Amino acid sequence: MKSLVDTGALFPALVVGRLLLALTNASDVLKHNHQLSTPLTSYLNLQEGIYLFKNGIDPYSGGVFRQSPLFLALFTTVLPTSRIACSLIWTISDAIGAWALVQLWRARQRVAQTSRDGLIAAAYLLNPYLFLPTLALSTSTFENTLALLSLLFAARGHASPSLLAAAILLQLSLSSVVLLAPLVLLLASSPVSQLASPRAFSGNVKIIIPLLVEFLVYTSVLTLVSALVSGGWAWIPQTWGAILTLPDLTPNVGLWWYFFTEMFDHFRPFFLMVFSIHLLIYIAPVCIKFQYDYLYAAFILLGVLGTFKSYPTMADPGLFLSMIALFPEIYPYLRYPIVTTLLHLHAALLMPLFHHLWLNQGTGNANFFYASTLVFACANGAALTDCVWAGLRIAIGPPQEGFSVVQE
């Protein structure tokens, strides 16, 4: 129990620092930023939806509110809606996420405490890809926290909390269904690092079906609760449907919006299907290949999600990058970490610049910003492929004199 709260001095200091940062009015400026929040995660839309709901208008009857009815329920009853209170809530959510990451690290190492805990917490709390969306009050913070909590509970072997967190995460974001498979398989196996010694899946196969059934039960209960709160089923096409049909083409850091602005209507259903199935096709290969280390498979699939999601914010690839801290065994085998870092620096500096040039100043056009999001996707893809390579390469062993590793 002591290990649950004892995280060294760095973690509380970082949390206090983040809380102080939350008390500033940075959110007033950042909440409008398109890179930090999307129509599905924006705080402004959340406020609008809550106001409409409080005044008896169905917030799902127009295209303004695309978040889960659970938010409506929580923010109109128990949670406060003032700016400072919301900033604190979001920062506390980030703190919980950082705590979950540290506990995940400890579970993977199978120790109660390490000297590196503070660094892991810092990797989450100081990552600008993560703290800027939190300051912007984007609900992707909650998605990250729930993802980390569900992975943590799975690593500890607690099935029900893990599946409940995953079910709540599914209510917030339909794309997270991609994480279901590695999560269930992680529950059936162990989180301990097996990357260096690949073997066939050796977990408990029999509990997979009961776990899936439990997940479905939680999901249906939460869906019914959402329908109760929202007074109908109109929220489904507006929230989950929005992820599949992309009705809102507001620019974001993802790859979908530009593609679909120039798409002829005739081809739209086809390409929506292609893009959605593209997310799903990574599940099976990654889970099969990393069947000895499902935490790593979940990590890779989080990276896939961060790069190819329909409405990503910076927080989605940010989670992937912070989670690299959990796998120091792959660091010697990363082939081009400096290139990836520079690509990320390049993209992270140019994206806001080109966005401003296009939409505020009017001297650029959409192609500037889209090019910078392509660089961002390149950076994410580079990180992803490098991590996949390193995860596989570690199994071959350290480099030896006179031998070279070649991919056939």
Which residues within the stretch 297-326 sit at the binding site for another protein (CB under 8 A)? none
List 229, 301, 330, 343, residue binding another protein (CB under 8 A): 229
Rounded CA-CA distance 29/16 in Å is 22
Shortest distance (Å) from residue 61 CB to another protein: 12
List 8, 17, 19, 76, residue binding another protein (CB under 8 A): 76
- Interior/surface letters 237-264, b for 16+ CB within 10 angstroms, e for the rest: ebbbebbeebebeebbbbbbbbebeeee
Assess contact for 226 and 215: CB atoms under 8 A.
no
Residue at token pair 């590196």: 116
Q: Is 72 in the site for another protein (CB under 8 A)?
A: yes
Token pair listed for 145: 């926290």
List 51, 201, 259, 271, residue binding another protein (CB under 8 A): 51
Shortest distance (Å) from residue 70 CB to another protein: 7
> Strand, helix or coil at 384?
helix
The DSSP call for residue 359 is I
Q: Point out which span in 40-48, 219-227, 389-397, 399-407 binds another protein (CB under 8 A).
A: 219-227
List 1, 5, 77, 266, residue binding another protein (CB under 8 A): 77
Token pair listed for 272: 């929506």
List 22, 89, 136, 222, residue binding another protein (CB under 8 A): 222
- Over the window 159 to 188, marking each residue x when it contacts another protein by CB under 8 A and - when it does not, the resulting string is -xx--x------------------------
Helical pair 180-188 and 140-156, crossing angle rounded to 10 deg:
20
Token pair listed for 103: 């506990």
State which residue, 196 or 225, has the beta carbon closest to another protein. Answer: 225
State which residue, 222 or 382, has the beta carbon closest to another protein. Answer: 222
One DSSP character per residue, 194-248 reads -TTS--S--S-GGGHHHHHHHHHHHHHHHHHHHHHHHTSSTHHHHHHHHHHH---
Rounded CA-CA distance 326/221 in Å is 33
Sequence-separated (6 or more) residues with CB below 8 Å from residue 337: 331, 386
Shortest distance (Å) from residue 228 CB to another protein: 5
Q: Is 226 in the site for another protein (CB under 8 A)?
A: yes
List 112, 209, 221, 405, residue binding another protein (CB under 8 A): 221
State which residue, 46 or 229, has the beta carbon closest to another protein. Answer: 229
Return residues touching another protein (CB under 8 A). Answer: 51, 53-56, 69-70, 72-74, 76-78, 158, 160-161, 164, 218, 221-222, 225-226, 228-229, 231
